[in-house]
Amino acid sequence: MNAEQLLSGFKPTPVDLMGVNDRIIRIKSRSIKTHAKNQGLSMVLSMIDLTTLEGADTPNKVRQLCYKAMHPQDQLKGVPSVAAVCVYPTLVKTAKDALKGSDVKVAAVSTYFPSGQSTLENKLLETQFAIDEGADEIDMVISRREFLQGNYEYVLYEILEVKSLCSANNVRLKVILETGEIGSLDEVRKASDIALLAHPDFIKTSTGKIGQAANMQVTLVMLQAIWDHYQKTGVQVGMKPAGGISDAKTALHYLVMVKEVLGQEWLSNKWFRFGASRLANDVLMQMAKQESGIYQAPQYFSKD
């Protein structure tokens, strides 16, 4: 089906703001016991996409990040590797070579990240380049300009085209909504529902390049959209909150929310990720505290 057919009869789902806020308060009040906390911290670490998306990125910086992805902390026992390393398309090959022999995936941002301000032809060329360089996953941005103008058919058409390209190459697709730019929670729900019509592998909150990144309210609305989509179609779609999640306590609250809204089946890095550059270190500090009873100082953990 094409975008026009998929959007035929589309009706936005209104968001109960008071209900969302009340549920977030209850989730944050959950007590996480020691054994569950240990399991949760390990799970969080395994779900992180370590990210470097700066103009100053170099091959050496990416190689250092890849080493950390595979060996988050050599001194701690049983520490898993992270899920993926996320880089620009031109550094995919460097990351792929550095991660050879590991289970860590290479994700590439695409479709003229972070703005999305280009033609579809250029976006597809960039995506194909990233795939040809060895990307396992593509993190695309939607055209917020078109979304804000109400051109939902074009937004969906672009996602469908990128999804088709990824599917043809056995590459997983994450669709970034950039929720901080598209407005209210009602608009977040609308954008989520539109993206889900393309059956991407994930929907994702943010690029991390604007002030408003992921928060629990936005993520809850997106999780509810995923659940409703699953109930209607039977198609499982993952979730990736990105940007602004830098401490282990908050990350554990996100896991509680995922379990309560979507269920245990989503609690793996196949279906849930954190887009983060600072979260891993705080998780490692907490894991060290759980093992030894003593907090380690931040300088004992690499910044890359």
First to last CA, the chain: 44
- 193 flagged as catalytic: no
Options 68, 105, 204, 282, the catalytic residue? 204
For residues 172 and 231, give the distance between their C-alpha atoms in angstroms, rounded to a whole number: 22
Helix, strand or coil for residue 303? coil
Q: Taking CA 47 as the corner, what is the angle to CA 241 and CA 209, rounded to the nearest 5 degrees?
A: 35
Options 68, 96, 174, 240, the catalytic residue? 240
- Residue 135 near residue 171 (C-beta atoms within 8 A): yes
Residues with Cβ within 8 Å of residue 229, at least 6 apart in sequence: 193, 196, 235, 237
Helix, strand or coil for residue 85? strand
For residues 265 and 238, give the distance between their C-alpha atoms in angstroms, rounded to a whole number: 10
Tokens of 175: 């669709």
For residues 227 and 236, give the distance between their C-alpha atoms in angstroms, rounded to a whole number: 8
For residues 158 and 3, give the distance between their C-alpha atoms in angstroms, rounded to a whole number: 9
Options 49, 139, 201, 282, the catalytic residue? 139
Site of tokens 């609690």? 267
- 139 flagged as catalytic: yes
84: left (phi over 0), alpha (psi -120 to 50) or beta: beta
Tokens of 7: 């959007």
Please list the alpha-helical segments (H only) found in 169-247. Answer: 179-182, 185-196, 216-233
Tokens of 133: 């360089």
Tell me the CA distances in angstroms from 228 to 15, 172, 190, one per residue in order: 13, 21, 13
Would you please indicate which residues are annotated as catalytic (active-site) residues?
139, 204, 240
